[in-house]
Structure 1
């Protein structure tokens, strides 16, 4: 029972850190490549957490992200729930793939997340996507292995203690 409580605390802490990294004032050149931190953390927990409460957390933290960023209410919530659903549906297969195949699949799933958010912006505001909207996916390739490693190490440490 203690492990479940500490893992839930880790889930919330990692999501709060992802929100903090998202709202920090970064230079404009860095913002062009800024990945969706919350989406990467939701993808990780959807892959490694056995229950479906991650979808609820994805919606809750997505709404919180919408409020913090001043975006259309429900935009991030919907895209993160869709991401969580897709990862949860294929979690068994994804866990059995090699690390590099997993990274490519996460990249594809995060691409889907970007498409959903761009579609919502297009329907809501008539926003036409530009190629720079996809630059954060390049950063995901660099950050995902480290994020996955870090959260795995912390989670394994919590299981042992």
Structure 2
């Protein structure tokens, strides 16, 4: 006998992803643009850890494809890197959920590093130290991002 999971309020996931995409598109001054955290990747990671039956590789690929189109990059690069990142999170989501936030932040560091590495290796011709700043800022902001998204998930009872 198969058990079914009752899902509710999926629109909240979509809204948080749209907000994350808008935060990635928001213009920043030249000195701050390298420090922009990977808002979309962190949002996808949170939902993949919290609700892996709702946000998985397909959602990550579609979101990455939207980011490819909106950011004007090479088509498929972000789609692939997001899907790979969420595959890794989905594969180990039960273990990751048990980690304290500082250990989760280290996981974020490695996953965002992977996303940035794919972007640098495929799309960018030059490698500069600024290319790695989103890895650091995403890692440092993970506890706050986790707390905000968890509060949203509980407030709207997203299942």
**Same fold per TM (> 0.5)?**
yes
Query: Structure 2: how far apart are the matches of 1:11 and 1:78?
Result: 20
Corresponding residue SS for 1:63? helix
Query: Structure 1: how far apart are the matches of 2:132 and 2:30?
Result: 15
> After the TM superposition, which segments of 4 or more aligned residues of structure 1 sit over 6 Å from their partners?
none
Q: Which residue of 2 aligns with 1:11?
A: 13
Structure 1 stretches lacking a partner, 5+ long: none
Alpha-carbon RMSD: 1.8
When the two structures are aligned, how many residues end up with a matched partner?
154
Query: Structure 2: how far apart are the matches of 1:52 and 1:79?
Result: 19
Structure 2 stretches lacking a partner, 5+ long: 1-5
Alignment counterpart, residue 65 of structure 1, candidates 54, 67, 79: 67
- Post-superposition Cα deviations, 1:73-119, rounded to whole Å, max 9, x if no partner, equal 11110000000000001111111111211111111111111111212
Q: Which moved more, 1:78-87 or 1:61-70?
A: 61-70
Q: Which residue of 2 aligns with 1:45?
A: 47
Alignment check: 8 A CA contact 2:8 2:157 kept: no
Q: Which residue of 1 aligns with 2:22?
A: 20
- Post-superposition Cα deviations, 1:9-67, rounded to whole Å, max 9, x if no partner, equal 11111110111011111111111101121111111111111316421111111111111
Question: TM-score scaled to structure 2, two decimals?
Answer: 0.89
Query: Structure 1: how far apart are the matches of 2:144 and 2:12?
Result: 17
Query: Structure 2: how far apart are the matches of 1:45 and 1:120?
Result: 27
Task: Give the helix-richer structure, 1 or 2.
Answer: 1
Q: Which moved more, 1:30-39 or 1:75-84?
A: 30-39
Identify which of structures 1 and 2 has the higher relative contact order when contacts are C-alpha pairs closer than 8 Å and 6+ apart. 2
Question: TM-score scaled to structure 1, two decimals?
Answer: 0.88
